[in-house]
Chain A
């Protein structure tokens, strides 16, 4: 069973479209994240949620909106897609943000290409 699963794995879409990436974790973790990895392989946090509450919101355009219907799911919706949004988006989760030495588990990634 996949611990952190995200769909779709590959997505090609046109500029201006709205798209969503879904993420689910079956580890019983309290905290979930979205990371973005750009073409230079640099991985940077975008958002984190703990028990459906937004904890980290880095400097990300308002076109990106995370939604957490429950603590096992964290979806990423992107409005008005731009060419610069092309990247790999990783969902991740960890057990408890207060606990020391947390292990953050990553999904396989979603490759988004905006044309």
Chain B
């Protein structure tokens, strides 16, 4: 079993839709939960991070963590074609020298 599981998609939605991206993880020692966005031929860029259960909102993006079920989500409201990218969930183990463990990434395509 991989430490972080993520459906690779692709996920195709119409412009304006609400997008839900999800990951599950297996290690309870994971401390910080992050979402990265990666455009084609580019490096990953951090979208959001959180360390506690609950929701964190930033503009059109909401990150949600449920530690009891080891489930993390990213919601994108009013999705735009510019949101088309690969979204990677990542979980950080601080005690292990900031070891960042990634999910496989979900390819998102927003159609105009």
Of all chain B residues, which has the CB nearest A103? B46
Q: Please, how many residues of chain A have a CB less than 8 angstroms from a CB on the other chain?
A: 28
Of all chain B residues, which has the CB nearest A47? B97
* B41 to A: closest C-beta gap in Å: 8
* A60 to B: closest C-beta gap in Å: 14
Answer whether residue B7 sits at the interface, using C-beta atoms and an 8 A cutoff: no
Stretch at the interface among B14-22, B59-67, B88-96: B88-96
In contact, A48 and B44 (Cβ under 8 angstroms): no
Answer whether residue B11 sits at the interface, using C-beta atoms and an 8 A cutoff: no
Stretch at the interface among A70-78, A79-87, A106-114: A106-114
Of all chain B residues, which has the CB nearest A94? B98
In contact, A41 and B105 (Cβ under 8 angstroms): yes
A100 to B94 Cα, complex, angstroms: 7
In contact, B46 and A109 (Cβ under 8 angstroms): no
User: For B94, what are the chain A residues with a Cβ–Cβ distance below 8 Å?
Assistant: 97-98, 100, 102
Answer whether residue B57 sits at the interface, using C-beta atoms and an 8 A cutoff: no
In contact, B43 and A48 (Cβ under 8 angstroms): no
Query: Chain B, 26-41, contact with A by CB distance < 8 Å: what is the 0/1 string?
Result: 0000011000100001
Contact of B102 among A42, A48, A98 (CB under 8 A): A42
User: For A90, what are the chain B residues with a Cβ–Cβ distance below 8 Å?
Assistant: 43-44
In contact, B44 and A106 (Cβ under 8 angstroms): yes
Answer whether residue A68 sits at the interface, using C-beta atoms and an 8 A cutoff: no
Answer whether residue B110 sits at the interface, using C-beta atoms and an 8 A cutoff: no
In contact, B98 and A41 (Cβ under 8 angstroms): no
Answer whether residue B45 sits at the interface, using C-beta atoms and an 8 A cutoff: yes
Answer whether residue B100 sits at the interface, using C-beta atoms and an 8 A cutoff: yes
Of all chain B residues, which has the CB nearest A90? B43
Q: Which 5 A-B pairs have the closest CB atoms?
A: A106-B43, A55-B97, A43-B102, A97-B98, A56-B97
